[in-house]
Amino acid sequence: LATEVSNGIEAFFNPRSVAIIGATPKEGKVGRVIVENFKRRFKGKIYPINPKYNEILGLKCYPSVKDVPEEIDLAVIVVPAPIVPRVLRDCGEKSVKATIIISGGFRETGTEEGRRLEEEVVKIAKDYGIRVIGPNCIGIYDNWSGVDTYFLPDKKMKRPPRGGISFISQSGAFASALLDWMAYNNIGVSRAISYGNKIDVDDVDLVEYLGKDDKTKLIIMYIEGIKDGRGKLFMEKVREVVKNKPVIVYKAGKTARGSKAAASHTAALAGNYDIYRAAFKQVGIVEAESFDEIGDFAKILLTQPLMKDNRVFVVTDAGGIGVMLTDALTKQGFELPVTPDDLKKELREVLPPHCIVENPIDLTGDADDERFKVVLEKVLPKPYVDAVVLGALPQIPGMTHKFIDYVVDVWNKYRKPLLVIDIGSEEAVKFKVELENRGIPVYESPERAARALKALYIYSKYVLRGSI
């Protein structure tokens, strides 16, 4: 476990033992919720630390980390700010490798006392060589090891299933909302980190770690600002990571007014957005410009192969959706090639005469699911087709759940980017869930689908040609 230390922060994610300093049996308190979280999933040793108790939730409690008879890899600190320096010094003397300081009351308060306390903490950490996440943070949720300092009970914040997405969020509340949202949307998560005031471990360390982490297939970041002097290194690390896994960034503090809000929030220097954007582009970051795009982009980037060029074919059972998709894709800069004569001929052979074989290919409302299959079989392998979007409204009488097998089978055969538009109620939701479980991203909105495909295209271009 913690023996294979990657850039010194492995102990945060895979500790053999954890001390929870400020643990308490009191209902509803942060110091209790965190003990409960660890008890639920963590396989290593758990040591509650609090001089007032001998035992907490069935675990032996110690007055200080120094009293624990065994080694401690990770300490989680939830005591009030003024006591943090003392317990951190104890950690140093105990040779604790890593600490997550949950406690607030530091620089973010804007007070002289807060600033002074934070400086003291920085100095102690440096003196003892302890790595710190925080203070004033929600910490780490690790879906593999069970490290879980998100101090919200399961009732308040559902834990998502295991999966390939890791994320780093400068905002703790946003991190918890996003985890909860991902749980609801059945999106698999690997590790989630929120670092608060980031006096030590920051985006650079985390992106490097997650880049090397074989459980992480895609990284999402909510950034207000990169620490002064760390920008260049951050971009270098990302450039390396992006070769193997997509990095989606949501930048907050884009506008002058937003920067000002960010300054009040995390004292972040949100900086000039244009400069950030240019840098993101240079290193292959896919930027999500809205909350929706975070999830929309993640699901296509996680499941679809690279998109070689920008030519898209649309196949639909609803002419209106075909027109909407054509507009949306064109607006994103995609080309919708006119169906070449040989393909037209092939399609004419398998389709009733009233179907439209132009691109968008309109199978019309009397289509059945098999019509999608035979057309997809003709269209997807063509060398001039880089991606296919299916506008497959499930309301038409001929659509059954066989549609899912048909689409997945053809997709598995040719492995080109494929997505589905599906609008409606229970039935549509069932289609969506089944398709997404089998690797085909589904969108309700043609415009959001087009933007998601654009994200895949941008990432593909960067990986294949080294520029966006």
Residues of this chain, 315-344, that bind a second copy according to CB under 8 A: 317-324, 326-328, 330-331, 336
Q: For a second copy, how many residues bind (rule: CB under 8 A)?
A: 78
Nearer to a second copy, 75 or 223 (CB): 223
Q: How far is the CB of 258 from a second copy (least distance, A)?
A: 4
Residues 240-279 that bind a second copy (CB under 8 A): 252-258, 260-262, 264-266, 270
Nearer to a second copy, 159 or 416 (CB): 159
Q: How far is the CB of 318 from a second copy (least distance, A)?
A: 3
Residues 289-308 that bind a second copy (CB under 8 A): 289-292
393 in contact with a second copy (CB under 8 A):
yes
Residues 14-43 that bind a second copy (CB under 8 A): 28
Q: Tokens in use for 457?
A: 């295209």
Residues 424-453 that bind a second copy (CB under 8 A): 424-429, 444-448
396 in contact with a second copy (CB under 8 A):
yes
Residues near 321 by Cβ (< 8 Å), separated by ≥ 6?
391, 393, 421, 423, 446
Buried/exposed 60-80: b ≥16 CB within 10 Å, e otherwise: ebbebbeebeeebbbbbbbbe
Cα–Cα distance, 432 to 187 (Å, whole number)? 13
Nearer to a second copy, 183 or 306 (CB): 183
Nearer to a second copy, 45 or 227 (CB): 227
5 in helix, strand or coil? coil
Pick one of 7, 181, 344, 377: the residue that binds a second copy (CB under 8 A).
181
Q: Tokens in use for 358?
A: 């132009």
Cα–Cα distance, 140 to 143 (Å, whole number)? 10
Q: How far is the CB of 350 from a second copy (least distance, A)?
A: 19
Closest CA to 407 of 358, 450, 372, 434: 372
109 in contact with a second copy (CB under 8 A):
yes
Q: Answer whether 359's CB lies under 8 Å from 387's CB.
A: no
DSSP calls for 11-27: HHHS-SEEEEET----T
Residues 50-69 that bind a second copy (CB under 8 A): none
Cα–Cα distance, 219 to 269 (Å, whole number)? 22
208 in contact with a second copy (CB under 8 A):
no
